[in-house]
Amino acid sequence: MSRSLLEAIATLTGTTIGAGILALPYVVQKAGFLTGLLDFFIIGLSILFINLAMGEVALRTKENHQLTGYANKYLGKKGKLIALLVMIFGIYGALTAYIIGEGKALAALFGGNELLYSFLFFLIASSIVFIGIRIVKKFELVLASVSVLLIMLIIAMSIGKVNLDNLEQFDIKNLLIPYGVIFFAFLAIPAIPEMKEELSRNKKDLKKAIIIGTSIPFIAYILFTFAIIGAAGLNTSEIATLNLEKAINNKVAVFFGFLLPIFSMSTAFLSLALALKEMYMYDLRLNKNVALILTVLVPLIVVLLGVTDFIKILSVVGALVAGVDGFLVIAIWRKAKKHGNRKPEYSVNLNKVLMLLIILVFILAIAKVMLNF
């Protein structure tokens, strides 16, 4: 496996595994583990299709864009405006959640003020984003690898404490409870154009990178949620790994539980911040410094204004962005098949029944947001 393929897989895995994984056990436990498991399969397969469709769009287009650029090319100015607003809202929501989450994780590990740690994380991460894509890729590969390793270690150390009674709940009426957070945990569309750049000499590997990069979080999420809910049951906390001490009598696992949110959210923050900065630079043609300031300052201001509801941010952002982006990608993908300006290395094809089912999944996501309000 080539280094560029590994880096592309790390980009998608790293962008995907962020704050979402830390909230999954909490929201799935509220719905019932078996209910959440059904959500995982429904949403995971839908996201795999959307990622592959986005990859095909990127390959059918000679120019490099983010979602807004592709929307402009294939759907016109109205499509671009919708994509722009949703992308900005989604990434800002994610960056805000990561800043809040990092503050909580660092304060839990070292003690002290959450807001101070959030600001410290913001300064370090923003500096790395300012330097650009090369240094971000170096950090990303390491951080993504460490995150996956920590998840595996926490699962391994928790599995012996699993009580199957905590995992038997199923209620179809609760299907939408974890919907937004699970969608948030899988969202990584901005990473797909980055992967095309990383595989510029081996574009044929993009399909493989997307399938592997989507499958790793899918498997990790299910195993992680199984282990945490199985061990903690009703004591599962909002940031699941910060409450392991009560469920697992293992100091090493507890320490790893503190480290996981620090590494996973750092990886995702860098990937998404870079994607937003590039969108401002490439698609809106803003100066590099202006693009950086717009990227990092908004989520910091939101945090400083006192927004701290970690779960609600993830749920609303995940459901709304997934719902709208799902429709956008499908529309862009259909147009790109007819009007793309290069031959793609792969093509995705679905029958009408499967397409309608996937569309229904994204309709439910938008419905979830409306139900919240």
Q: What is the DSSP annotation of 269-322?
A: HHHHHHHHHHIIIIIS---HHHHHHHHHHHHHHHHHTT---HHHHHHHHHHHHH
DSSP state of 161: G
Cα–Cα distance for residue pair 325/361, rounded to 1 Å:
12
Q: What is the pLDDT of residue 188?
A: 87
Q: What is the pLDDT of residue 346?
A: 95
DSSP state of 178: T
CA 289 from centre of chain? 26
**Tokens in use for 197?**
């750049």
pTM: 0.86
- How far apart, in Å, are the Cα atoms of 248 and each of 25, 105, 158? 15, 18, 7
Cα–Cα distance for residue pair 60/80, rounded to 1 Å:
18
Give the residue ranges of the chain where pLDDT is below 50.
Answer: none
CA 254 from centre of chain? 24
* Degrees, nearest 5: CA angle 49-12-189: 50
Cα–Cα distance for residue pair 82/84, rounded to 1 Å:
5
Give the architecture (CATH level 2) of 3-372.
Up-down Bundle (1.20)
> What is the identity of the amino acid at 174?
N
**Tokens in use for 194?**
């980055």
Query: pLDDT (tens digit, 9 = 90+) per residue, 26-80?
Result: 999 999 999 999 999 999 999 999 999 999 999 999 998 888 889 999 999 999 9
DSSP alpha helix (H) spans, 187-286: 191-198, 206-232, 244-247, 251-278
Q: What is the pLDDT of residue 88?
A: 86
